[in-house]
Chains A and B, each alone.
Chain A
Amino acid sequence: DADVTQTPRNRITKTGKRIMLECSQTKGHDRMYWYRQDPGLGLRLIYYSFDVKDINKGEISDGYSVSRQAQAKFSLSLESAIPNQTALYFCATSETGSTGELFFGEGSRLTVL
C-alpha cells in the first residue's frame, strides 16, 4: 500500500458542487501539504499544515479550505467548484528536521464541468 493515499483518484463534478479530496499517510510525518498541478504552470501550493493545530495558506488558497483531522489525515475541500479548478491535485508529506523532501500521493484528477 502507498505511504500517502489520496481519494478519490479521479472525480468529475459539476460547477457549484462541493468536493472533498482526502489524504491519509502512514509515514508518521507531521507536515502535510496540498498542491495543484496545471499544464505549463508546475505545482503550486494551496495549503499546508505543520501539525494538527497548524493550518497555513499557500499561494493559491482562494476557493479552497482544508481540515487536519489527525496527524495522518489532511482533507482539501472545494466549497463550490468552478471549471478553472480542474487540475491534478497532490497531497504530500515531509518530516520535521529533514531536508524538506516531499513524499507525494498518487494524485487526484479533478474535472469540473
Chain B
Amino acid sequence: AQKITQTQPGMFVQEKEAVTLDCTYDTSDQSYGLFWYKQPSSGEMIFLIYQGSYDEQNATEGRYSLNFQKARKSANLVISASQLGDSAMYFCAMRGGSNYKLTFGKGTLLTVNP
C-alpha cells in the first residue's frame, strides 16, 4: 500500500521569499513516481512537477523544484520567489510501480503575504 503524508496543514510565506512544502511517502515499490499539484481557490487541479524514483537529478519547473531524498522517502516542493498567485492548496501524490492510480496527501494550504 502507498501512503503520502503532508504534515503542514497551513503555511505562510512573505512575497518574494522561498518556501518548502513537506511531503513524505511510503511504498514497497522500487519504481514509483511523485507529483505535486496546485489547487487555487477556483478549484481546478494544476499539475506542477514530477519526479521519477530513478531520476538522479531533482526535478525543476520554473520556480518549482522537487527536493527528492530517496533514503528519507521525502519529496518536498520548493517554491522560489513566492508570488501572491501562489496562494493555494498544494497536494503531493504518488504512483507506485506500474500501478497508474495516484494516491494523494491531505494537502497544505499556502498563503503568500504581501
Contact = CB atoms under 8 A, between A and B. Distances in A.
A88 to B, nearest CB: 7
A100 B6 CA distance: 21
Interface in A70-113: 88, 90, 92, 94, 96, 99-104, 106-107, 109
A99 B50 contact: yes
* Contact size range, B: 20 to 34
B47 A101 contact: yes
A101 B35 contact: yes
Contacts of B100: 31, 48, 50, 94, 96, 100
A45 B101 contact: yes
Nearest to B100: A100
B43 A106 contact: yes
B101 A99 contact: no
* Contact size range, A: 20 to 34
A50 B52 CA distance: 21
A91 to B, nearest CB: 11
Given A41-B106, A99-B52, A100-B33, A88 B43 contact: yes
The 9 closest A-B pairs by CB, nearest first: A100-B95, A104-B45, A42-B106, A43-B104, A42-B104, A100-B100, A107-B43, A99-B50, A42-B107
Interface of B: 4, 6, 9, 33, 35, 43-45, 47, 50, 52, 91, 93, 95, 100-107
10 contacts: A31-B100, A42-B4, A43-B93, A43-B104, A45-B101, A92-B45, A99-B50, A100-B100, A102-B47, A102-B102
